[in-house]
Amino acid sequence: MDITPGFVGAIGNTPLIRLNSVSDETGCEILGKAEFMNPGGSVKDRAALYIIKDAEERGLLKPGGTVVEGTAGNTGIGLAHICNAKGYKCLIIIPETQSPEKIELLRTLGAEVRTVPAVPYKDPNNYVKLSGTIASEMENAIWANQFDNLANRRAHYETTGPEIWQQTDGKIDAWVTATGTGGTYAGVAMFLKEQNPDIKCVVADPKGSALYSYVKTGELTTEGSSITEGIGSSRLTSNMQGVPADDAIQVDDPEAVRIIYQLLQKDGLFMGGSVGINVGAAVALAKQLGPGHRIVTVLCDGGSRYQSKLFNRDWLAEKGLFPPA
């Protein structure tokens, strides 16, 4: 019999989906790792599991303890699910600018949720720094610290990367994805480069993030802004330090929205905003490489968590973004 041992056992081993519309357009095979099919609904289930396992193994998290994290949503959702499955409490600090769907889902899952103003990382009241401060003042609590906790990228080095390698029989030309914490990009890039140094590893980045500039020039500078949530960064996290990056591609909001609606209308895939950045970058990379190449990216989460924004035409119109009819 093939029986999965609970919620935790269902994390990972997601399909690799050929994205037909963009593959046919570019002449490259563009594949999306279907991380929205994890039981908690996003790629962040992997990092959440490894962060909790690491804390358990090191004796930092004891029965009845609390997991505290500052998150844009998906890592918090994964942590809340796993805390329920393992008998821990969960406290989430989240910027008030994040979609109401994610905030309400966290509360439905039983997490204590504190919304805070969205301020830059340098501000001591930034949601990430605030979560660390709160955790340090609690008994029997850990700070998940997803941005600088290397258990995050190890999750992808040990699971996501090997899965992609096995699913493609090692026949892969490029890996491209956006980064928030850096865990997914970094872990997979590190694994794939060990298998074949010729695989091109490319950072996808929205406007307003400094990572595109960093890869291109070595300096962290930003311009513009983006409606996408949970990706982009003004700093180099521990998870991204020492990680191979052959190039970077910047994708603006109009292109991300166009891609999101194309995936919905032509491929039947109802995806979140970061997928627009990922697939938009994969399309741009396919045009650079030319036909006949195989490119892998990530389908991070589904569109239902962004219904009130990304799939609300009035909201998009206010932002000057107009999806195709």
Of 33, 44, 86, 89, the active-site residue reads: 44
Dist CA 56 CA 140 (whole Å): 12
State both tokens at 322.
């107009």
206: Cα separation from own chain's centroid: 13
Q: What is the DSSP letter of 159?
A: I
Long-range contacts made by residues 169-173, C-beta under 8 angstroms, separation at least 24?
170/195, 170/196, 171/294, 172/196, 172/199, 172/294, 172/295, 172/296, 173/199, 173/200, 173/289, 173/293, 173/294, 173/295
Dist CA 291 CA 29 (whole Å): 8
- Is 216 an annotated catalytic residue? no
> For strand 174-178 and strand 141-143, is the pairing parallel, antiparallel, or unpaired?
unpaired
Q: Give, for 50, the enclosing helix (H) or strand (E).
A: helix 44-57
Dist CA 264 CA 25 (whole Å): 16
Segments of 98-210 assigned E as strands: 112-116, 141-143, 174-178, 200-206
Dist CA 236 CA 271 (whole Å): 27
Residue 122 to residues 119, 126, 127, 226, 234: CA-CA distances in angstroms?
A: 8, 7, 11, 19, 10
One-letter amino acid for residue 163 of the chain: E
Residue from 143, 179, 122, 139 nearest 51 by CA:
143
Instruction: Write the CB contacts of 229 (distance below 8 Å, at least 6 apart in sequence).
Output: 72, 73, 98, 99, 102, 272, 273, 274, 306
What region, left, alpha or beta, does residue 194 occupy, with left being phi > 0 and alpha being psi -120 to 50 degrees? alpha
- Name the residues annotated as catalytic: 44
